[in-house]
A and B are shown apart, each in its own frame.
Chain A
Amino acid sequence: MRGLPDPTPPNLSLPDVVGSAGTEPIVQLHGVGKRFASGLEALDGIELSVARGEFLSLLGPSGCGKSTLLRIIAGLSEPTRGTCRVSLGEPGKPIPSGRIGFVFQDPTLMPWSNVAANAELPFRIAGRVGAEERDRVAAALRAVGLAGFEGAYPHQLSGGMRMRVSIARALVTDPELLLLDEPFAALDEITRLALNDDLLRLWETRRPTVLFVTHSVFESVYLSTRIAVMSPRPGHIVADLPVALPHPREGARTSPGYAAMCETVSGALGMAMTDART
Chain B
Amino acid sequence: MIGQRAWRLLAPLLIGVVFLAIWEAVVRWRGIPPYILPAPSAVAQSLWVDGPSLLGSLLVTLRITLAALAAAALIGGAIALLFSLSRVLELSLFPYAVILQVTPIVAIAPLIIIWVREPFLALLVCAWIVAFFPIVSNTTVGLNSADRNLLALFRLYGASPGQILLYLRLPTALPYFLAGLRISSGLALIGAVVAEFVAGTGGAETGLAFRILEAGYRLAIPRLFAALFLLSLTGIVIYLLLDWLSRRVLQHWHESAATAAEE
Contacts and interface: CB of A to CB of B under 8 A. Distances in A.
Our verdict on whether A and B bind, yes or no, reads yes
Contact of B157 (A106, A112, A126, A153): A126
B149 A155 contact: no
A149 interface: no
Contacts of B149: 104, 106, 108
A110 B257 contact: no
Interface in A73-117: 74-76, 97-98, 100, 102, 104, 106, 108, 110-112, 114
B167 interface: yes
A125 B163 contact: yes
Interface stretch (B72-80, B229-237, B247-255): B247-255
Contacts of A102: 152-153, 156
A121 interface: yes
Interface of A: 71, 74-76, 97-98, 100, 102, 104, 106, 108, 110-112, 114, 121-122, 124-126, 153-155
A188 B146 CA distance: 27
Nearest to A94: B158
A112 B153 contact: no
A144 B48 CA distance: 66
Given A153-B252, A154-B254, A155-B255, A76 B155 contact: yes
B171 A112 contact: yes
B116 interface: no
A153 B168 CA distance: 16
B253 A111 contact: yes
Contacts of A98: 157
Contacts of B253: 111-112, 153, 155
Given A111-B257, A153-B252, A154-B254, A125 B157 contact: yes
A125 B252 contact: no
A122 B156 CA distance: 9
Given A110-B171, A111-B254, A125 B154 contact: yes
Contacts of A76: 152, 155-156
A110 B150 contact: yes
A121 B174 contact: no
B25 interface: no
Nearest to B158: A97
Contacts of B158: 97, 125-126
9 nearest interchain CB pairs?
A97-B158, A155-B254, A108-B149, A111-B254, A125-B157, A153-B252, A125-B159, A104-B149, A112-B171
B156 A112 contact: no
B157 A110 contact: no
Contacts of B174: 112
B167 A124 contact: yes
A71 B252 contact: no
B53 to A, nearest CB: 46
Contacts of B156: 74-76, 97, 100, 102
Contacts of A97: 156-158
B147 interface: yes
B111 to A, nearest CB: 43
A76 B147 CA distance: 15
A75 B155 CA distance: 9
9 contacts: A71-B152, A97-B156, A98-B157, A111-B253, A111-B254, A121-B153, A125-B157, A125-B163, A155-B253
A168 B150 CA distance: 15
By CB atoms of chain A within 10 A, which of B149, B154, B171, B253 has the most?
B149
Contacts of A124: 167
Given A122-B157, A125-B158, A126-B158, 5 more contacts: A97-B158, A111-B252, A111-B257, A112-B257, A121-B167
Interface string B171-188: 100100000000000000
Contacts of A108: 147, 149-150, 153
A102 B152 CA distance: 10
A98 B153 CA distance: 11
A111 B250 CA distance: 10
A97 B152 CA distance: 13
By CB atoms of chain A within 10 A, which of B154, B156, B159, B168 has the most?
B156
B159 to A, nearest CB: 5
Given A104-B149, A124-B167, A125-B159, A112 B252 contact: yes
A111 B252 CA distance: 8
Contacts of A110: 150, 167-168, 171
Contacts of B257: 111-112
Contacts of B153: 102, 104, 108, 121
Contacts of A126: 157-158
A257 B82 CA distance: 61
Contacts of A125: 154, 157-159, 163, 167
